[in-house]
Amino acid sequence: MSDVDQPVSFQAPKGVSNDADLQRLTMALDVQAKLLSVRRLRSWAHDALAPRPGHRAVDVGAGTGEELQVLAISVGPSGDAIGIEPNAGLRAEAERRAEAAGSTARFVDGDAYALPFENSSVDLVRCERVWQHLAEPERAAAEIFRVLRPGGRAVVIDTDWATTILHPGDPAVVDAMVQSWLNGHPNPFSGRRLAGLLTAAGLAVADIGSQAQIHDAGLIEMVRKSMGAGAVEAGVITEQQLDQLLTDLYAGADRGDFHSSVTMFAPVAHKTGD
């Protein structure tokens, strides 16, 4: 889930300090969930998982639980849709929304390194924009392999932050700012590593989906507050360079020449065996 002052991601710290933080986080997730790019890749991933009635489906890092509710409909009353969410505030919000929707989705505490399931007991696993926050994503891949039944399927969606494009502006300043951002995250190249990590864990990757996440000019203020401010603090760009970049971005937006994007990837894999 993500902090609202950061580019889009779906991983929250285990604790949120106060109600205001939780409200901002929930609002950010709701905004992100409405993005066409996110909806497209989620739809593709859902179809790739091919949930059926009776399946036991798990969403690792379920957040507000919107996607788990979709899985719950597909697996039906004979199945089980379980969301793993370590953030107590988000978990409570997910439970509230599920109850209001009359959904059978349920949520439990846990994390990607220690899924609360027996070996070979799960049919489907989805995990969205969590691994970029993990220092040891290979452990998360091993956990997915452990809990999947033979023939079970998994889809892991994540961003590769090195695919960030921001235009117009001095390319050297943009590159320095993005590199500073990458240096501040435990696994910023997550998107490109997903298939390899799943394969190394013993899963067979059948396909990889991708989607460029396009942002409008509303992102410019986020650039100033997060990526830009962090780069200035790290000393890789100056205040003057940041100011000029922001001026260029706003001018580009005014004349219809603004572009901001980052690419997400989503390998779908299965556990071989009878």
DSSP state of 79: S
Percent pLDDT > 90 in the chain is 84
Just give the CATH number of 19-270: 3.40.50.150
Nearest to 234 by CA among 190, 194, 158, 176: 176
Alpha-carbon span 115 to 238, nearest angstrom: 44
- Average confidence (pLDDT) over 230-253: 97
Read off the pTM.
Answer: 0.90
Residue 27 has which token pair? Answer: 């609002």
Per-residue pLDDT of 26-53, as tens digits, reads 988 888 899 999 999 999 999 999 999 9
Place of tokens 């969606």: 157
Q: Dihedral of CA 15/101/144/36: which sign?
A: negative
Task: Please tell me the predicted confidence (pLDDT) of residue 89.
Answer: 93
Tell me the average pLDDT of the chain: 92
For residue 55, what pLDDT band results from cuts at 50, 70 and 90?
very high
At what angle are helices 171-183 and 239-254 packed, to 10 degrees?
Answer: 110
Does the structure show a pLDDT above 90 at 20?
no
Task: Please tell me the predicted confidence (pLDDT) of residue 274.
Answer: 61
Q: What is the CA radius of gyration of the chain?
A: 19
- Average confidence (pLDDT) over 211-227: 92
Per-residue pLDDT of 83-120, as tens digits, reads 999 999 999 999 999 999 999 999 999 999 999 999 99
CA distances from 135 to 31, 57, 82, 140 (A): 27, 25, 24, 10
Strand partners for 238: none
Does the structure show a pLDDT above 60 at 3?
no
Contact of 135 with 15, CB cutoff 8 Å: no
Task: Please tell me the predicted confidence (pLDDT) of residue 269.
Answer: 99
Q: Dihedral of CA 59/63/67/72: which sign?
A: positive
Q: Where are the domains of the chain?
A: 19-270
Higher pLDDT, 23 or 268: 268
Higher pLDDT, 215 or 5: 215
Nearest to 106 by CA among 143, 49, 65: 65
Per-residue pLDDT of 151-186, as tens digits, reads 999 999 999 999 999 999 999 999 999 999 999 889
